[in-house]
Structure 1
Amino acid sequence: MSFENELNKLYRKIAEKINDMIPVEWEEFYFNGEVKDGEGGVYFFYTTLDEKQEYKYSHYIPRMYNVDRKIYNQFLHELFDLTVQLQQVFIDNQQEAWFSVTMIVNGEGKLTVRFSYVNWNDSEFGPSDRIEYFEYKYLNRELTDEIDKELMARMKKYEEERS
């Protein structure tokens, strides 16, 4: 199978897994996966048809929709495994291993994929900071206090210097 076909197959599987994880009709989702040496994490934000302006965080699904946490965690593990497989396709095709992948899918099925090679594990910014930065960068999260503004500015600078 060609490199591009392998990627498209995994993009579809990731999107299908996220679709299976959201227990309501959704409008769009923004997925982020980080992988370094087989370790990392995945999460996504999504909007629903009735609340198109409010992004919901994937890890709140069990609480918001009374979904069994064990089932959710199993799906999350499967989603991470697909993300690792996606990175492995790059490695198997003599491409540089990226650190993070962002997938954006809207209700019409339009797909946008971005890869980043910035290794955030080497930074002072932890997972919570990176989730906030993802919200700021992709979801236009409004920054209201100076501490958040300063943090996002430092993270943006870190990313730009390493891109």
Structure 2
Amino acid sequence: MTAEQIEKCYEEIAHQISAMIPEEWTTAKLYAESWPGYTTIYFYYDSADNTLPILNLNIPDLFSVDPDDFLLQKRLLRRTVLALQQMFSEQDMETWTNFTLILNHDGTFKAEYGYEDLKELDPGEKREAWKVKYGIEYKR
């Protein structure tokens, strides 16, 4: 795995997130968790109009977005994130179990990987802990 391949994957994830957001935004925070038999991927974004963060899964309900097109975009994002994880595996690097990408509208980003075994933890509790860690206040 080369740094160039990883960079390209980050760029593709950033492009896909941006394409899914139907309004001006400032920051998006993606969480992915994956191990054999389980995958979850979602993101919250901050609207430029300073409302509370919006969960990507709520976009079709909040905006005039074609639900079928949105589902295709979600699947594409999932494939790209999992391709990033596969790059680690193919290069005999420690394969992450969770991944956070903090993306700013100007294209700058920060990526963080976790390697702990998350199988026994409650998904809701993990999401809440992640939201607290990354300062996501969500009330929708």
Following superposition, the deviation at residue 88 of structure 1 comes to: 0.7
Q: How does 1:1-163 map to 2 (within 5 A)?
A: 2-37=1-36, 39-51=38-50, 54-123=52-121, 125-126=122-123, 128-141=124-137
Say which SS state the counterpart of residue 66 (structure 1) adopts: coil
Q: What are the ranges of 5 or more consecutive residues in structure 2 without an aligned counterpart?
A: none
Root mean square deviation, CA, Å: 1.7
CA–CA distance in structure 2, aligned partners of residues 132 and 60 of structure 1: 17
Q: Which has the higher contact order (CA 8 A, sep 6+)?
A: 2
* Larger Rg belongs to: 1
- 1:42 maps to a residue whose letter is I
Say which SS state the counterpart of residue 122 (structure 1) adopts: coil
What's the TM-score once normalised by structure 1's chain length? 0.78
CA–CA distance in structure 2, aligned partners of residues 104 and 82 of structure 1: 16
**CA 1:116–1:70 in structure 2 vs 1: closer, same or farther (change >3 Å)?**
same
Kept in 2, the 8 Å contact 1:101–1:113? The answer is yes
Kept in 1, the 8 Å contact 2:52–2:137? The answer is no
Following superposition, the deviation at residue 121 of structure 1 comes to: 1.6
User: How far does the alpha carbon of each residue in 1:113-148 deviate from its partner, in whole angstroms, 9 at most, with x for none?
Assistant: 00001222232x12x322222211102549xxxxxx
Say which SS state the counterpart of residue 34 (structure 1) adopts: strand
Following superposition, the deviation at residue 112 of structure 1 comes to: 0.2
Kept in 2, the 8 Å contact 1:3–1:89? The answer is no
CA–CA distance in structure 2, aligned partners of residues 113 and 84 of structure 1: 15
- In proportion to residue count, which structure has more helix? 1
Q: What are the ranges of 5 or more consecutive residues in structure 1 without an aligned counterpart?
A: 143-163
Equivalenced residue count is: 138
CA–CA distance in structure 2, aligned partners of residues 99 and 81 of structure 1: 15
State the percentage of identical aligned residues. Answer: 25
- 2:108 maps to a residue whose letter is K
Say which SS state the counterpart of residue 8 (structure 1) adopts: helix
- Give runs of ≥4 in structure 1 deviating > 4 Å: none
User: How far does the alpha carbon of each residue in 1:43-89 deviate from its partner, in whole angstroms, 9 at most, with x for none?
Assistant: 001011111x6211111000010312222111111111111100011
